[in-house]
Protein backbone atom coordinates (compact mmCIF):
# COMPACT_ATOMS: atom_id res chain seq x y z
CA UNK A 1 0.00 0.00 0.00
CA UNK A 2 1.51 3.31 -1.07
CA UNK A 3 2.07 6.10 1.51
CA UNK A 4 -0.33 8.34 -0.43
CA UNK A 5 -3.08 5.69 -0.35
CA UNK A 6 -2.45 5.14 3.38
CA UNK A 7 -2.92 8.87 4.02
CA UNK A 8 -6.15 8.95 2.00
CA UNK A 9 -7.48 5.89 3.84
CA UNK A 10 -6.63 7.41 7.22
CA UNK A 11 -8.35 10.67 6.27
CA UNK A 12 -11.47 8.77 5.18
CA UNK A 13 -11.55 6.84 8.47
CA UNK A 14 -11.22 10.06 10.48
CA UNK A 15 -14.11 11.60 8.56
CA UNK A 16 -16.28 8.52 9.07
CA UNK A 17 -15.56 8.39 12.80
CA UNK A 18 -16.24 12.11 13.14
CA UNK A 19 -19.56 11.78 11.38
CA UNK A 20 -20.53 8.72 13.40
CA UNK A 21 -19.76 10.41 16.70
CA UNK A 22 -21.42 13.64 15.63
CA UNK A 23 -18.95 15.63 17.69
CA UNK A 24 -17.82 17.79 14.77
CA UNK A 25 -21.16 18.43 13.11
CA UNK A 26 -21.90 22.13 12.84
CA UNK A 27 -25.60 22.91 13.46
CA UNK A 28 -27.41 24.75 10.70
CA UNK A 29 -28.60 28.30 11.24
CA UNK A 30 -32.13 26.95 11.54
CA UNK A 31 -31.09 24.49 14.27
CA UNK A 32 -29.13 27.20 16.09
CA UNK A 33 -32.24 29.38 16.23
CA UNK A 34 -34.37 26.48 17.44
CA UNK A 35 -31.91 25.86 20.25
CA UNK A 36 -31.92 29.55 21.17
CA UNK A 37 -35.71 29.28 21.38
CA UNK A 38 -35.31 26.28 23.70
CA UNK A 39 -32.91 28.21 25.91
CA UNK A 40 -35.37 31.11 26.09
CA UNK A 41 -38.19 28.72 27.06
CA UNK A 42 -36.01 27.26 29.81
CA UNK A 43 -35.14 30.73 31.12
CA UNK A 44 -38.75 31.95 30.95
CA UNK A 45 -39.87 29.01 33.09
CA UNK A 46 -38.19 30.70 36.06
CA UNK A 47 -39.91 33.50 37.94
CA UNK A 48 -37.18 35.55 39.60
CA UNK A 49 -38.17 37.60 42.64
CA UNK A 50 -36.25 40.39 44.32
CA UNK A 51 -37.06 40.00 47.99
CA UNK A 52 -37.52 42.68 50.62
CA UNK A 53 -40.33 44.67 52.21
CA UNK A 54 -42.08 44.79 48.83
CA UNK A 55 -41.09 41.70 46.82
CA UNK A 56 -40.72 42.41 43.10
CA UNK A 57 -41.05 39.98 40.22
CA UNK A 58 -38.11 40.65 37.92
CA UNK A 59 -38.56 41.10 34.18
CA UNK A 60 -36.81 38.67 31.84
CA UNK A 61 -35.29 40.49 28.86
CA UNK A 62 -36.80 38.42 26.02
CA UNK A 63 -33.77 38.23 23.76
CA UNK A 64 -30.56 36.62 25.01
CA UNK A 65 -27.83 39.12 25.77
CA UNK A 66 -25.30 36.66 24.36
CA UNK A 67 -25.30 33.36 22.48
CA UNK A 68 -22.13 31.37 22.88
CA UNK A 69 -20.04 28.29 22.22
CA UNK A 70 -17.12 26.85 24.17
CA UNK A 71 -14.71 24.80 22.03
CA UNK A 72 -11.98 24.97 24.69
CA UNK A 73 -13.43 22.78 27.44
CA UNK A 74 -16.26 20.88 25.70
CA UNK A 75 -16.22 21.17 21.93
CA UNK A 76 -19.94 20.82 21.34
CA UNK A 77 -21.14 23.26 24.02
CA UNK A 78 -23.55 25.99 22.99
CA UNK A 79 -25.92 28.16 24.98
CA UNK A 80 -27.44 31.56 25.66
CA UNK A 81 -27.19 34.12 28.46
CA UNK A 82 -30.12 36.14 29.82
CA UNK A 83 -30.81 38.86 32.38
CA UNK A 84 -33.75 39.57 34.66
CA UNK A 85 -34.17 43.25 35.53
CA UNK A 86 -35.66 45.65 38.06
CA UNK A 87 -36.49 49.03 36.51
CA UNK A 88 -33.87 48.30 33.87
CA UNK A 89 -31.04 47.25 36.18
CA UNK A 90 -29.95 43.60 35.79
CA UNK A 91 -30.60 41.77 39.05
CA UNK A 92 -29.95 38.22 37.83
CA UNK A 93 -27.75 36.91 35.03
CA UNK A 94 -28.21 33.36 33.82
CA UNK A 95 -26.84 30.93 31.27
CA UNK A 96 -28.72 27.99 29.78
CA UNK A 97 -26.53 25.66 27.76
CA UNK A 98 -26.29 22.11 26.47
CA UNK A 99 -23.79 19.42 25.48
CA UNK A 100 -24.20 16.13 23.65
CA UNK A 101 -25.22 13.51 26.20
CA UNK A 102 -22.28 11.18 26.92
CA UNK A 103 -24.58 8.15 27.12
CA UNK A 104 -26.88 8.94 24.17
CA UNK A 105 -25.46 10.87 21.22
CA UNK A 106 -28.97 11.58 19.89
CA UNK A 107 -29.65 13.82 22.91
CA UNK A 108 -28.31 17.08 24.28
CA UNK A 109 -28.19 17.53 28.04
CA UNK A 110 -29.22 20.97 29.33
CA UNK A 111 -27.75 22.77 32.32
CA UNK A 112 -28.82 25.95 34.13
CA UNK A 113 -26.67 28.54 35.90
CA UNK A 114 -27.60 31.82 37.58
CA UNK A 115 -25.87 34.50 39.60
CA UNK A 116 -27.52 37.27 41.57
CA UNK A 117 -26.41 40.78 40.64
CA UNK A 118 -28.76 42.25 43.21
CA UNK A 119 -28.08 44.10 46.43
CA UNK A 120 -31.15 42.35 47.87
CA UNK A 121 -31.95 38.67 48.44
CA UNK A 122 -33.21 36.76 45.40
CA UNK A 123 -35.40 33.72 45.02
CA UNK A 124 -36.77 31.78 42.06
CA UNK A 125 -39.98 29.87 41.52
CA UNK A 126 -40.46 27.23 38.86
CA UNK A 127 -42.64 24.26 38.09
CA UNK A 128 -41.35 21.04 39.69
CA UNK A 129 -38.40 19.68 37.73
CA UNK A 130 -37.03 16.17 38.03
CA UNK A 131 -33.44 15.68 36.91
CA UNK A 132 -31.13 12.69 36.96
CA UNK A 133 -30.07 13.78 40.45
CA UNK A 134 -33.62 14.20 41.73
CA UNK A 135 -35.75 17.34 42.17
CA UNK A 136 -34.21 20.62 41.04
CA UNK A 137 -34.45 22.99 44.03
CA UNK A 138 -35.75 26.52 43.95
CA UNK A 139 -32.97 29.08 44.17
CA UNK A 140 -33.25 31.08 47.40
CA UNK A 141 -30.28 33.32 48.19
CA UNK A 142 -30.63 35.30 51.41
CA UNK A 143 -27.59 37.51 50.78
CA UNK A 144 -26.71 40.13 48.15
CA UNK A 145 -25.23 38.73 44.99
CA UNK A 146 -22.57 41.40 44.45
CA UNK A 147 -20.60 43.92 46.47
CA UNK A 148 -20.11 47.03 44.29
CA UNK A 149 -16.91 48.99 44.84
CA UNK A 150 -15.63 52.28 43.49
CA UNK A 151 -13.39 51.95 40.45
CA UNK A 152 -10.02 53.27 41.67
CA UNK A 153 -9.00 56.65 40.25
CA UNK A 154 -11.87 56.70 37.76
CA UNK A 155 -12.91 60.06 36.26
CA UNK A 156 -16.42 61.43 36.88
CA UNK A 157 -19.09 60.01 34.56
CA UNK A 158 -19.33 62.00 31.33
CA UNK A 159 -22.39 64.04 30.41
CA UNK A 160 -23.50 62.07 27.35
CA UNK A 161 -24.35 58.39 26.83
CA UNK A 162 -21.83 57.99 24.01
CA UNK A 163 -18.99 59.40 26.08
CA UNK A 164 -20.01 57.26 29.06
CA UNK A 165 -19.86 54.16 26.86
CA UNK A 166 -16.33 55.13 25.87
CA UNK A 167 -15.48 55.55 29.56
CA UNK A 168 -16.98 52.18 30.51
CA UNK A 169 -15.11 50.36 27.76
CA UNK A 170 -11.88 52.05 28.83
CA UNK A 171 -12.46 51.13 32.47
CA UNK A 172 -13.30 47.53 31.54
CA UNK A 173 -9.99 47.18 29.70
CA UNK A 174 -8.21 47.93 32.97
CA UNK A 175 -9.51 44.65 34.43
CA UNK A 176 -7.91 41.25 33.87
CA UNK A 177 -9.74 38.00 34.64
CA UNK A 178 -7.88 34.71 35.01
CA UNK A 179 -8.44 31.09 35.92
CA UNK A 180 -5.70 29.97 38.35
CA UNK A 181 -3.10 27.50 37.01
CA UNK A 182 -3.35 23.77 37.57
CA UNK A 183 -6.99 23.41 36.51
CA UNK A 184 -6.56 21.88 33.06
CA UNK A 185 -8.21 23.24 29.93
CA UNK A 186 -8.93 26.93 29.97
CA UNK A 187 -6.51 28.00 32.69
CA UNK A 188 -4.97 31.42 32.24
CA UNK A 189 -6.40 34.73 31.08
CA UNK A 190 -9.99 35.07 29.94
CA UNK A 191 -10.81 37.30 26.99
CA UNK A 192 -12.80 40.50 27.50
CA UNK A 193 -15.45 41.04 24.85
CA UNK A 194 -14.86 44.48 23.38
CA UNK A 195 -18.47 45.61 23.63
CA UNK A 196 -20.80 45.32 26.63
CA UNK A 197 -23.40 42.58 26.27
CA UNK A 198 -26.09 44.68 28.00
CA UNK A 199 -26.54 48.42 28.59
CA UNK A 200 -28.96 49.97 31.06
CA UNK A 201 -29.97 52.78 33.37
CA UNK A 202 -32.37 52.92 36.31
CA UNK A 203 -33.84 55.99 37.97
CA UNK A 204 -35.20 53.93 40.85
CA UNK A 205 -31.81 52.38 41.63
CA UNK A 206 -29.84 55.60 41.10
CA UNK A 207 -27.96 54.37 38.03
CA UNK A 208 -27.53 56.94 35.26
CA UNK A 209 -25.67 54.45 33.09
CA UNK A 210 -24.39 50.92 33.34
CA UNK A 211 -23.04 48.08 31.27
CA UNK A 212 -22.53 44.34 31.61
CA UNK A 213 -19.21 43.08 30.28
CA UNK A 214 -18.17 39.46 29.85
CA UNK A 215 -14.84 37.71 30.18
CA UNK A 216 -15.13 34.63 28.01
CA UNK A 217 -13.64 31.25 27.13
CA UNK A 218 -14.41 30.79 23.46
CA UNK A 219 -17.47 33.02 23.58
CA UNK A 220 -18.77 31.42 26.80
CA UNK A 221 -19.09 33.99 29.64
CA UNK A 222 -17.11 32.83 32.69
CA UNK A 223 -16.94 36.11 34.63
CA UNK A 224 -19.49 38.93 34.50
CA UNK A 225 -18.34 42.49 35.17
CA UNK A 226 -20.79 45.30 35.92
CA UNK A 227 -19.64 48.89 35.54
CA UNK A 228 -22.17 51.49 36.73
CA UNK A 229 -22.36 55.24 37.15
CA UNK A 230 -24.15 55.21 40.49
CA UNK A 231 -25.37 57.97 42.77
CA UNK A 232 -23.33 58.44 45.94
CA UNK A 233 -23.59 61.34 48.39
CA UNK A 234 -25.29 63.57 45.83
CA UNK A 235 -22.84 62.86 43.02
CA UNK A 236 -22.26 60.01 40.60
CA UNK A 237 -19.20 57.81 40.49
CA UNK A 238 -18.10 54.72 38.62
CA UNK A 239 -18.39 51.48 40.53
CA UNK A 240 -17.84 47.85 39.54
CA UNK A 241 -19.05 44.44 40.65
CA UNK A 242 -18.11 40.93 39.54
CA UNK A 243 -20.05 37.68 39.36
CA UNK A 244 -19.06 34.09 38.71
CA UNK A 245 -20.66 32.29 35.77
CA UNK A 246 -18.33 29.30 35.85
CA UNK A 247 -17.68 26.22 37.94
CA UNK A 248 -14.00 27.20 38.18
CA UNK A 249 -12.32 29.57 40.64
CA UNK A 250 -11.72 33.01 39.18
CA UNK A 251 -9.41 35.96 39.86
CA UNK A 252 -10.02 39.59 38.88
CA UNK A 253 -7.31 42.26 38.89
CA UNK A 254 -7.54 45.96 38.15
CA UNK A 255 -4.37 47.59 36.88
CA UNK A 256 -2.28 44.87 38.50
CA UNK A 257 -4.03 44.74 41.89
CA UNK A 258 -6.37 41.95 43.00
CA UNK A 259 -9.88 43.34 43.50
CA UNK A 260 -12.05 40.20 43.55
CA UNK A 261 -11.83 36.43 43.57
CA UNK A 262 -14.09 33.42 44.00
CA UNK A 263 -13.67 29.75 44.80
CA UNK A 264 -14.72 26.75 42.73
CA UNK A 265 -18.50 26.67 42.44
CA UNK A 266 -20.63 24.29 44.49
CA UNK A 267 -23.29 22.84 42.15
CA UNK A 268 -26.72 21.46 42.97
CA UNK A 269 -27.41 23.72 45.97
CA UNK A 270 -29.93 26.54 45.96
CA UNK A 271 -29.00 28.76 48.90
CA UNK A 272 -26.07 30.75 47.49
CA UNK A 273 -25.81 33.77 45.18
CA UNK A 274 -24.44 31.42 42.50
CA UNK A 275 -26.72 28.57 41.39
CA UNK A 276 -25.47 25.86 39.03
CA UNK A 277 -27.33 22.71 38.09
CA UNK A 278 -25.89 20.34 35.50
CA UNK A 279 -28.14 17.95 33.61
CA UNK A 280 -31.51 19.52 34.39
CA UNK A 281 -33.09 17.85 31.36
CA UNK A 282 -32.36 16.31 27.97
CA UNK A 283 -33.72 17.10 24.52
CA UNK A 284 -33.42 15.52 21.10
CA UNK A 285 -30.24 16.77 19.53
CA UNK A 286 -32.00 17.66 16.27
CA UNK A 287 -35.11 19.73 16.97
CA UNK A 288 -37.98 19.12 14.57
CA UNK A 289 -40.43 21.86 13.67
Average pLDDT over residues 39-66: 97
Give the model's pLDDT for residue 11: 38
Percent of the chain, pLDDT > 70?
89
CB atoms within 10 A of CB 217: 24
Q: Provide the pLDDT confidence category of residue 232 given band limits of 50, 70 and 90.
A: confident
Q: HEC profile for the chain?
A: CCHHHHHHHHHHHHHHHHHHHCCCCCCCHHHHHHHHHHHHHHHHCCEEEECCCCCEECEECCCCCEEEEECCCCCCEEEEEEEEEECCEEEEEEEEEEEEECCEEEEEEEEEEEEECCCCCEEEECCCCEECCEECCCCEECCCCCCCEECCCCCCCCCCHHHHHHHHHHHHHCEEEEECCCCCCCCEECEECCCCCEEEEECCCCEEEEEEEEEEECCEEEEEEEEEEEEECCEEEEEEEEEECCCCCEEEEECCEEEEEECCCCCCCCCCCEEEEEEEEEEECCCCC
Contact between 44 and 60 (Cβ < 8 Å): yes
Label residue 259 exposed, middle or buried (CB < 10 Å: 0-12, 13-18, 19+).
middle
- Alpha carbon distance 198, 78 (integer Å): 20
* Beta strands 47-50; 66-70: pairing state: unpaired
CA separation for the pair 85, 95 (Å, rounded)? 15
Highest mean pLDDT among 51-60, 72-81, 132-141: 51-60
> Who wins on pLDDT, 50 or 21?
50
- Assess contact for 96 and 53: CB atoms under 8 A: no
Domain ranges of the chain: 3-284
**Confidence category of residue 255, pLDDT binned at 50, 70, 90:** very high
Residue partners of 266: CB distance under 8 A and separation at least 6:
272, 276
pLDDT of residue 250: 97
With cut-offs at 50, 70 and 90, classify the pLDDT of residue 6: very low
Calpha distance 35→98 (Å, rounded): 9
Amino acid sequence: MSPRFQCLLLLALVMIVGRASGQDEVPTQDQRQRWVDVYHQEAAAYEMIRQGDSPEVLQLVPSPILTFTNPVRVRDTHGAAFVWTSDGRPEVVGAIWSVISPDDSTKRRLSHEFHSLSLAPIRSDHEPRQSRRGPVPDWISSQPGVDPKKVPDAPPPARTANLRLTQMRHLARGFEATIPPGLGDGQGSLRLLAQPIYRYHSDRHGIIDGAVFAFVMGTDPELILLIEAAESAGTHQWRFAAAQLSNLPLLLDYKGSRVWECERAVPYVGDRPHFMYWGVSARDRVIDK
